[in-house]
Amino acid sequence: MNSANEGMILMSTEVNGLYYLPEASGAARATDTNRGTPTTSTSGGVTVAVLEGRNGALPDIRDPWQQCLAAAPDHQQLFSFEYFSAWLRYDARGGRWSGETRLLLAHDCDGELVGILPLACRRYGLLRVWMLAGPYEPLRGFVCHRRLAAEVAEGFARQLVSMHGWLQAVRLGPIDTSFPEVALLMEHIQRLTGRLASFVTPAAVYVANVPTTVAQLQERTRASRSLSRIASRQRRLEREEGMRIGRYTNPTGERLRGVLEECRLVESRSWLASAPDGRLRFDTDEQLNFWRHICDRDPSARRDIDFWVVYLGQKPVAFDVVITLGTVRHLYAGQYDDDYAKYGLGWMLWMAYTQDGVERGVRTIDMGTGSVEYKQQAGGAVFDVRRDACLLPGGVFGTLVAKMLSSGRWRRLWGRVRQWRRTGLTGILTVAASPQTGMVVVNASDDLVATPVLFVMLQALVAVV
């Protein structure tokens, strides 16, 4: 281990009109090229090895990893060695995280690395859940060669189905199934086993018809009463209060540190800071170190991380962080100073980074989840591409639990209990009192899987006995 980094069913080449994948290649000759690795399996012309790690570390395979990434599609270009190293080091340590990692590596018949799927472990009592690494959809996924997606996905699916046993589960989500390799992986797992349970997750909002020229964007802005009003307000603020919007692309060193502190200041004065379920992204030193690690150590020609900051005079009052991968731009985070809520600063930022995207050939903007009403003003539409799924422990109970968790009745119960954040005595009493099934699903961030799995397995065991 490197102590410096502590811690099939062939689908269409177009998926939901958002991402594209060249036609998968034919099956290659199967051969074992990973002798001596802890676990190996062969499927679809690739050999999959599993490497175990501790303390949130990855093995020192930076060079072959980056070579594999170079052959991957644009939408995977965020998933570099440094990206996952930073996430494991700063986000996936402490609390329920055990520090254990599993790295699935796919090699072709010539021994070339053609796929990488990293997992990190969380413990819930006796249950161990192997989570697909990464912050959140759609910035969670895995790397695979652009022409071997079907073979790599099948090899990973077979390995995931076979490698865990009783009281171990694999959580594949929340994740964006508009990534073709992700959709292939889910299809293969579903075909191989009945132990894959699907969960409800909010739909994504995309602007999938970004104008191709700045003139078209300006015409769309003029045609919208609200956007034209925002543009007029922006011109007045620029003239009267010295407002300006700064853009920082892949900043490093002192500039990066200054921008991160400005984001932290704005976020601390936003509505999110006082919200009961607010999830700050620039609050702790660990969160800031995540960005320092990526931007300082991982320059890439095929992805951009842009920090857009609104200033009134010298005071930062709003920001957006967008990540551009090929022709798709993702809004990762954004907030505004609550004292300036009436100014519409978020829309001013949207117009700025959308115009910049038009000039750089961006065709799709991912606006995240949540309310779609105001996002429709910018051309946003709902795409049902977000999925949460869990590959449950082996045996008859795992199959039974998967079927129960994926049923329509469970989906109806979901809305009744999504405000819960932990079970405790209240959860136990509600389970006993539930008029439909005597069981509930609890939406509690990463506790999403552990609680329903444990409850349903207990209920199933009692029913069988």
Per the model's pLDDT, the better-predicted residue between 281 and 2 turns out to be 281
Taking residues 115-131, report their average pLDDT. 88
Q: Which two tokens stand for residue 201?
A: 């997750």
H or E stretch including 48? strand 46-53
Cis peptide before 435 (omega within 30 of 0): no
Task: Say how far apart CA 344 and CA 366 lie, in whole Å.
Answer: 20
pLDDT at 444 > cutoff 60: no
Task: Say how far apart CA 449 and CA 78 lie, in whole Å.
Answer: 26
Task: Say how far apart CA 8 and CA 275 lie, in whole Å.
Answer: 45
pLDDT at position 442: 32
Domain residue limits, the chain: 3-192, 206-383, 395-464
Average pLDDT of the residues of the chain = 77
Taking residues 341-363, report their average pLDDT. 92
Answer whether 391's CB lies under 8 Å from 160's CB.
Answer: yes
Q: What is the DSSP string of 399-445?
A: HHHHHHHTSHHHHHHHHHHTT----HHHHHHHHHH-SSSS------T
The confidence band for 401, taking pLDDT boundaries of 50, 70 and 90, is: low
Task: Decide: helix, strand or coil at residue 51.
Answer: strand
From the options 3.40.190.10, 3.40.630.30, 3.30.70.2860, 2.120.10.30, give the CATH code of 3-192.
3.40.630.30
pLDDT > 90 in the chain, percent: 39
pLDDT at position 22: 27
Nearby residues of 261 by Cβ (< 8 Å), 6 or more positions away: none
pLDDT at position 17: 32
pLDDT at 432 > cutoff 80: no
Task: Say how far apart CA 121 and CA 131 lie, in whole Å.
Answer: 6
Q: Is the pTM of this model over 0.75?
A: yes
Answer whether 247's CB lies under 8 Å from 306's CB.
Answer: yes
Nearby residues of 414 by Cβ (< 8 Å), 6 or more positions away: 200, 441, 443
3-192 and 206-383, same CATH topology:
yes
Per the model's pLDDT, the better-predicted residue between 127 and 158 turns out to be 158
The confidence band for 409, taking pLDDT boundaries of 50, 70 and 90, is: low
Q: What are residue 124's phi and psi, to 5 degrees?
A: -130, 85
Nearby residues of 201 by Cβ (< 8 Å), 6 or more positions away: 137, 173, 174, 369, 386, 387, 388
The per-residue pLDDT for range 21-50, each reduced to its tens digit, is 222 232 222 222 233 334 555 555 889 999
Beta carbons within 10 angstroms of residue 213's beta carbon: 10
Q: How far lies 355's CA from each of 221, 233, 280, 332, in Å?
A: 11, 18, 27, 18
CATH of span 206-383: 3.40.630.30
Per the model's pLDDT, the better-predicted residue between 441 and 361 turns out to be 361
Q: How far lies 307's CA from each of 22, 241, 244, 319, in Å?
A: 32, 22, 14, 7
The per-residue pLDDT for range 144-199, each reduced to its tens digit, is 998 899 999 999 999 998 876 677 888 888 888 888 899 999 999 889 887 887 77
The per-residue pLDDT for range 79-99, each reduced to its tens digit, is 999 999 999 988 887 788 888
